[in-house]
Amino acid sequence: MTLRWLKPEFRKHGAAALLSNDASMGIAPPEDAPVKSPRGYWRWGERRGGGVSILIEQRAVWVNSGLIIVLMLACTAYLSLGSVILDPRDVVKALAGQGDIMTGFMVQELRLPRLVAACLTGGAFALAGILMQTLARNRLATPGIIGIDNGATAFAVASVVGMSVSLAPSAMALTGAVTAAVLTFGLAAGSGTQGYRFIVAGIGVGAVFGAITQLLLARVAIDTANAAYPWTVGSLNARSGGSVQLLGIGLALGFVAALTLARSLTVLRFSEATASGLGVNTSARRIQILLLSVALTALAVAVAGPVGMVGLIGPEIARALSTPRHVPVVAATLAGALVMVLSDLAGRTLLAPIELPVGIVTAIIGGPWLLWILMRPQRSHA
């Protein structure tokens, strides 16, 4: 027998060794060896035995802390900069309810609500993106690319252009997102959420809704078309307070749901057969992840319209910073919020007094940046 890959102990004893107990040969670790954390993790729990044990990935802690710090800095800059430039120390005072009334008004009433909307939409788009990408095992399969954003836009534009004012565009955007998602899954029926059929169906649905939007805009007066314009590119100007609150609740719940799904998500990166063999109820998990992703996108689109690229860039940044051991759900959410805050800050300040819609900024900055991330040589994880 060829035994070249076996331990020398095995080789020496030949075939007989294969059939004997490893432990009796003293090569397996003893039963009561103290537990060491796997490489790259902190472990919390008993050193021996099978009680409670929690693993915390070291890199994830550093990455998430780093992203939180950078996000805080970006938020401070966001509140400080604009048509009136404020001292960051005054901003902090104003947030605490101190300082002069003018600054307080500007920070709390004007800039803070928009900042909150930026953080929430960015986080929701990126979280929805990483969920959908993991599900489809494809880095390009974000809710934006499979037509959900376009559905929301078409419905929102239709409500601005054609229908009575009583139908709020936010509610219509939500309806449109759900309609597009239902159509995509209906058309890809039977083939699961995997594979090209699903993505192609989504692109088709997106194209149809895109065409409907164009048709609607082409057939109305220029003023009406202008009013509907923010809904076609994505902007934080047109937001309604109610939809932001709804998104806040939705993102909080969705984030917790995504965390509870994190272990399954990690395994779903393998093939369907492998994930199923490892005890993941793949069909149930797929539906849960899909619904979560669609709901988050719909809620975010209802606030800001179809802001492109955030659902791609957020997860891409998170993956570039993280190890391949897990799906970086938290980091993707934080990175999405960061991208959105910085993009809207740039849109508000770069060409002031003209304000660029945030969707245009994410497209202009995001495209080349995404290319850079994709073309960078892969980091070694050894």
Partner 1 sequence: MNDFRTAPTLATEALSMGYGARRVIDGLDVSLPSAKVTAIVGPNGCGKSTLLSGLARLHKPDVGSVLLDGKDIQRLPSRQLATQLALLPQEAVAPEGLTVTELIRFGRQPHQGWLRQWSAEDQRVVQHALLAAGLEDLADRPIDALSGGQRQRAWIAMTIAQQTPLLLLDEPTSALDLGHQIEVFELVRHLAGHGRTVVMVLHDLASACRYADHLIAMCDGKIVDQGAPDKVVTPELVRKLYQVECTLLTDPDTGSPLLANVRRAKQTVCV
Report the interface residues with partner 1, using CB under 8 A: 1-3, 5-7, 18-22, 27-29, 31-39, 41, 43, 45, 48-55, 263, 267, 269-274, 276-281, 323-325, 378-382
Distance in angstroms (rounded) separating the CA atoms of residues 277 and 258: 22
Q: State how far the Cα of 169 lies from the Cα of 159, in Å rounded to an integer.
A: 6
What residues are paired with 45 via a beta bridge?
Answer: 53
Q: How far is the CB of 186 from partner 1 (least distance, A)?
A: 18
Among residues 27 and 211, whose Cβ is nearest to partner 1?
27
Look up tokens 């819609």; give the residue: 357
**Token pair 């915390």 in the structure block, residue:** 56
* C-alpha span between 158 and 45 (Å, rounded): 57
Nearest by Cα to 304 from 227, 358, 362, 363: 358
Looking at beta carbons only, is 258 or 302 nearer to partner 1? 258
Beta carbon of residue 192, minimum distance to partner 1 (angstroms, whole number) = 12
Nearest distance, CB of residue 282 and partner 1, angstroms: 8
82 versus 195: smaller Cβ distance to partner 1: 195
Closest approach of Cβ 1 to partner 1, in Å? 7
Specify the residue, 42 or 105, whose C-beta has the smaller distance to partner 1.
42
Report d(CA 148, CA 182) in Å as an integer: 9
Which H or E element spans position 148? helix 148-161
3 state SS of 377: coil
Q: By C-beta, is 51 or 97 nearer to partner 1?
A: 51
For partner 1, give the closer residue by CB, 80 or 134.
Answer: 134
In degrees, rounded to 5, the angle at the alpha carbon of residue 199 between the alpha carbons of residues 259 and 269 is 40
DSSP state letter for 99: S
Could you tell me which residues are beta bridge partners of residue 233?
Answer: none
* Closest distance of CB 173 from partner 1, Å: 34
272 by DSSP, 3-state: which? helix
Tell me the closest approach of the beta carbon of residue 6 to partner 1, in angstroms. Answer: 5
